[in-house]
């Protein structure tokens, strides 16, 4: 498996300040509380949608989306492609379960597939986070009895789509309409109503991703918010910090805007290069 490559690649791009798609800025050396207060004041004035970024021990950065039932899904902040994509939790095994099989076999003799909960799974693929299973609720009436049944939603009927990354990382599946929420710093909760996301049933990545490149092929998060009139453009800006006392990493993602309070000098805007996939197996960036 090459699952670690995607995290490493996204981490490098995070440090490289967003590949120049819009703007990245750094706050002065102040406490985490002061950062949040400053950002809240500036964001409230200009009505920006500002989403917290959570850093992890691998120097990757995550965005948390919430489904209609309140389940939080942590996905990688992804500068290399434009789509929200989630791993199908019904088709790909949780890594904790997958690792339990490793102790039962010699590593050289691991089977390609295993059976878990009466279903077959590819043991070479597993997820740590960013997985989701779309559910649907129906009410059934049988005589005088009425019952509410929750079951997995039907598999999407759209054509398969493959999201590719350098170093041969990928997520492959079908686009689905879904309703999610984003918690923000200053604007409460922002609804992503009927956003199109890729539900990946085949991937060698450990985690789904929150794509902010553009333009999207099928209604990514930024395009969805722009169409709904929530943001003026489908660009973004971001900045990152490390908390001095705890060394915890984090940042903020500003959707469709740039906070003028966070940079000095002239600001230049230029068109972004459309995402067309990554055909170079060596992972050489354009």
User: Could you give the CA distance from residue 3 to residue 125 in angstroms, rounded to a whole number?
Assistant: 9
The SS3 of residue 93 is strand
pLDDT given for residue 144 in this prediction: 77
Domain architecture of the chain: domains with CATH: 3-262 (2.40.70.10)
Q: Quickly count: other Cβ atoms within 10 Å of residue 53's Cβ.
A: 21
User: Could you give the CA distance from residue 219 to residue 79 in angstroms, rounded to a whole number?
Assistant: 16
pTM of the entire predicted model:
0.78
pLDDT given for residue 89 in this prediction: 94
DSSP string, 224-281: HHHHTTSSSSS-EEEEEEE-TTT--EEEEEEET---GGG--S-----PPPPP-----T
With beta carbons less than 8 A apart as the criterion, state whether 149 and 141 touch.
no
pLDDT given for residue 47 in this prediction: 60
User: Could you give the CA distance from residue 272 to residue 188 in angstroms, rounded to a whole number?
Assistant: 29
pLDDT given for residue 52 in this prediction: 94
pLDDT given for residue 275 in this prediction: 59
The SS3 of residue 100 is helix
Walk along the chain (286 residues) in steps of 10 and give the mean pLDDT of each run. Answer: 44 33 37 43 56 84 92 94 94 92 76 89 93 84 76 76 88 93 88 92 96 78 90 87 78 89 81 60 39
Closest CA to 240 of 230, 252, 228: 252
Give the pairing of strands 236-242 and 249-255: antiparallel
Closest CA to 204 of 127, 260, 256: 127
With beta carbons less than 8 A apart as the criterion, state whether 183 and 189 touch.
yes
Structure tokens at 268: 């230049």
Structure tokens at 6: 């995607």
pLDDT given for residue 284 in this prediction: 38
pLDDT given for residue 46 in this prediction: 41
């Amino acid at each position: 498996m090459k699952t670690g490559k995607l995290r490493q690649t996204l981490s490098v791009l995070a440090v490289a300040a967003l590949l120049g798609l819009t703007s990245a800025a750094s706050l002065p050396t102040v406490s985490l509380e002061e950062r949040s207060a400053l950002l809240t004041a500036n964001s409230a004035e200009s009505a920006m949608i500002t989403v917290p970024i959570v850093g992890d021990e691998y120097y990757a950065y995550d965005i948390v989306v919430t489904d209609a039932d309140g389940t939080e899904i942590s996905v990688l902040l992804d500068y290399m492609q434009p789509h929200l994509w989630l791993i199908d939790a019904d088709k790909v095994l949780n890594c904790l379960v997958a690792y339990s099989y490793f102790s039962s076999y010699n590593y050289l003799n691991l089977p390609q597939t295993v059976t878990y909960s009466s279903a077959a799974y590819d043991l070479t693929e597993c997820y740590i986070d960013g997985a989701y299973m779309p559910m649907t609720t129906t009410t059934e009436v049988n005589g005088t009895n009425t019952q509410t049944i929750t079951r997995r939603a039907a598999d999407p009927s759209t054509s398969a789509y493959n999201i590719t990354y350098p170093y041969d990382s990928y997520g492959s599946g079908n686009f689905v309409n879904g309703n999610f929420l984003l918690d923000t710093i200053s604007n409460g909760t922002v609804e992503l109503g009927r956003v199109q996301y890729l539900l990946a049933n085949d991937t060698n990545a450990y985690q789904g991703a929150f794509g902010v490149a553009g333009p999207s092929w099928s209604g990514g998060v930024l395009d969805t918010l722009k169409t709904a009139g929530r943001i003026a453009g489908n660009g973004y800006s971001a900045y990152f910090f490390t908390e001095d006392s705890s060394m915890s990493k984090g940042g903020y993602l500003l959707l469709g805007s740039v906070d003028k309070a966070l940079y000095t000098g002239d600001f230049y805007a230029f068109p972004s290069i459309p995402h067309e996939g990554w055909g170079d197996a060596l992972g050489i960036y354009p």
